[in-house]
A and B are shown apart, each in its own frame.
Chain A
């Protein structure tokens, strides 16, 4: 693994390392197996199809977040960007498919670019900059929709809807798009100089600077990428829901951070995987699905479970990291 070192002679530490990287996958397999037996409806093709489709929107956001967190940063603006992207897409759909995709991508990338510029050029804390743009993007969204009272609906029959509602071999188009994006993301992270710079910056920013890596440029690209992906997730959601919904995306940044962390990416930066994030998304979606299957459970428990889950994962990650350095 890049930037994480294991002592080969300490078997306990090696085991902790494996657990840190693969723990989520193990839990996912066990969870799916348990849910399959416990809930008769869980294993049906319909439910599994909707499970992966639901997960795909969050996955696209989490992909950008993975890059940002590996670089040692954080992007709290993704939830607002996601909602803004959806509204812009639904608004743009009346001018055709191209506008529906490009308009949100342009605006959300621009917000990401400003995030990146402020973080890289002024040295301000990422979480404060992106907190401000969380407010800003939500404000812009409200202004666009006259305080949220206007909903932009996509006309039925629009080609744009295929992006969200279409299926290939019975599986939703967003799922394929997500897989393509993750493949590209994986290549970008593992096979390019840009990816190496991301790991280097997250591992030790000062050293990366001294090595002559383009630290500022990489950071600006990262936050732009994160903004664009959040906007694209908004596009897919708008196509799926057939309208730009103003109230979505509140707290999505937390979901995205959770799944990235659950996937084994370290919040301190310098280590992480794209595949882990995918596993994290599936695990998160599985939990939501199970809560829905139980049915009688108060829906407010969903957020309690999310919070508790994030916490458990972070604590375990922390304890494992400790036992490895010992």
Chain B
């Protein structure tokens, strides 16, 4: 080690640690300020509502993803689970919106049980177990829906995506409540502590007698259920069930939101508030690019750069 690196390292480590803890909030604030100054009509209640409503499904999915990543796993199937949920909605809407939603969420739970069983009991790598469902799930959704887009007209159901409660969009309230619940689960429950322990050191958790398999299967079930909820929300907002499009590349957005929010891919740590801000950041980045007329292609390349930078920053902590 040269003396130059010795004197530089503490500063750099400090900066990195600070960025990991507060980088996402800083990024959201910077992006907000940028938009306030440079984007026309950004400072309006209507626009803020739109941003929050559009961030809601990503946020819901990212919460589940954060729990999975906390156990050192990954769930690539979330987008396909959303499409399965979307495909089921029109089939059961005749029996009432609540029935349709329950069926969709049950489908999400079953998908999660499936992935979770493969990961927890058969010991298959999470990336492959959920990859199979990513491929097969959307196909299944398209088979269920005969590849068709279905317009929805049930007002009660559409209220979910378009309605307000005390002036706040219902979708935003749902995402907020789920975020608070996720925060409580991680911080205040035994399950939350087990989850973090399993992600931190699986072998030690097994030796300590923690219910490792049960924790693993649970996080995938939660992730599947939340993905289904996001699918329901997206369908209601669109006023149409579109299984070929809903949730496309959602796994990428959700993983990015989680990682940008300070949850390391190596597990052992879950940052719920960071994840919520990560989802907001992804939405703001997209909105900024669209409002400044930058094409989709640029948006994709920017998202790629954000993923790399975020993971690079997150990496420093684990390697230290």
In the bound complex, residues from chain A placing their C-beta under 8 Å from that of B298 are: 139, 143
**Partner of B140 from A304, A314, A322 at Cβ < 8 Å:** A304
Binding site for A on B (CB under 8 A): 74, 118, 122-125, 127-129, 131-140, 142-143, 146-147, 252, 255, 259, 265, 295-301, 303-305, 307-308, 311-312, 315, 319
Smallest CB–CB gap between B95 and chain A, Å?
25
B301 pairs with A308, CB closer than 8 A? no
Per-position 1/0 for A116-153, Cβ under 8 A of B: 00100011110111011111101111110001000000
Stretch in A26-34, A46-54, A165-173, A294-302 with 4+ CB within 8 Å of B: A294-302
In the bound complex, residues from chain A placing their C-beta under 8 Å from that of B140 are: 300, 304
**Partner of A74 from B118, B127, B136 at Cβ < 8 Å:** B127
Of all chain B residues, the one with the shortest Cβ separation from A311 is B132
In the bound complex, residues from chain A placing their C-beta under 8 Å from that of B132 are: 307-308, 310-311, 314
**Partner of A142 from B74, B297, B307 at Cβ < 8 Å:** B297
The secondary structure that dominates the A interface is helix
In the bound complex, residues from chain A placing their C-beta under 8 Å from that of B300 are: 135-136, 138-139, 142
A251 located at the interface, meaning its Cβ lies under 8 Å from any Cβ of chain B in the complex: yes
Q: How far is it, in angstroms, between the C-alpha of A310 and the C-alpha of B295 when the chains are bound?
A: 35
Q: How far is it, in angstroms, between the C-alpha of A74 and the C-alpha of B265 when the chains are bound?
A: 16
With A254-B134, A318-B123 as known contacts, state yes or no: A131 contacts B297, CB within 8 Å. Answer: no
Per-position 1/0 for A285-325, Cβ under 8 A of B: 00000000000001011111111101100110011001000
B135 pairs with A300, CB closer than 8 A? no
**Partner of B143 from A74, A127, A268, A304 at Cβ < 8 Å:** A304
The secondary structure that dominates the B interface is helix
Q: How far is it, in angstroms, between the C-alpha of A129 and the C-alpha of B312 when the chains are bound?
A: 10
24 cross-chain CB contacts under 8 A: A124-B311, A129-B311, A131-B255, A132-B308, A136-B301, A136-B304, A139-B296, A140-B301, A143-B295, A143-B298, A147-B295, A254-B131, A254-B135, A261-B128, A300-B139, A303-B139, A304-B140, A305-B139, A306-B139, A307-B132, A308-B136, A310-B132, A314-B129, A315-B124
A143 pairs with B297, CB closer than 8 A? yes
In the bound complex, residues from chain B placing their C-beta under 8 Å from that of A322 are: 123
A300 pairs with B295, CB closer than 8 A? no
A257 located at the interface, meaning its Cβ lies under 8 Å from any Cβ of chain B in the complex: yes
Of all chain A residues, the one with the shortest Cβ separation from B80 is A307
Q: How far is it, in angstroms, between the C-alpha of A318 and the C-alpha of B118 when the chains are bound?
A: 10
Q: How far is it, in angstroms, between the C-alpha of A124 and the C-alpha of B265 when the chains are bound?
A: 10
With A307-B137, A315-B118 as known contacts, state yes or no: A147 contacts B307, CB within 8 Å. Answer: no
Smallest CB–CB gap between A153 and chain B, Å?
21
Of all chain B residues, the one with the shortest Cβ separation from A310 is B132
With A124-B312, A310-B128 as known contacts, state yes or no: A251 contacts B297, CB within 8 Å. Answer: no
What are the 5 A-B residue pairs with the smallest beta carbon separation, nearest first? A307-B136, A303-B139, A139-B300, A142-B297, A307-B135
Smallest CB–CB gap between B132 and chain A, Å?
4
A267 located at the interface, meaning its Cβ lies under 8 Å from any Cβ of chain B in the complex: yes
Q: How far is it, in angstroms, between the C-alpha of A310 and the C-alpha of B129 when the chains are bound?
A: 9
A300 pairs with B127, CB closer than 8 A? no
Of all chain A residues, the one with the shortest Cβ separation from B243 is A300
Per-position 1/0 for A84-112, Cβ under 8 A of B: 00000000000000000000000000000
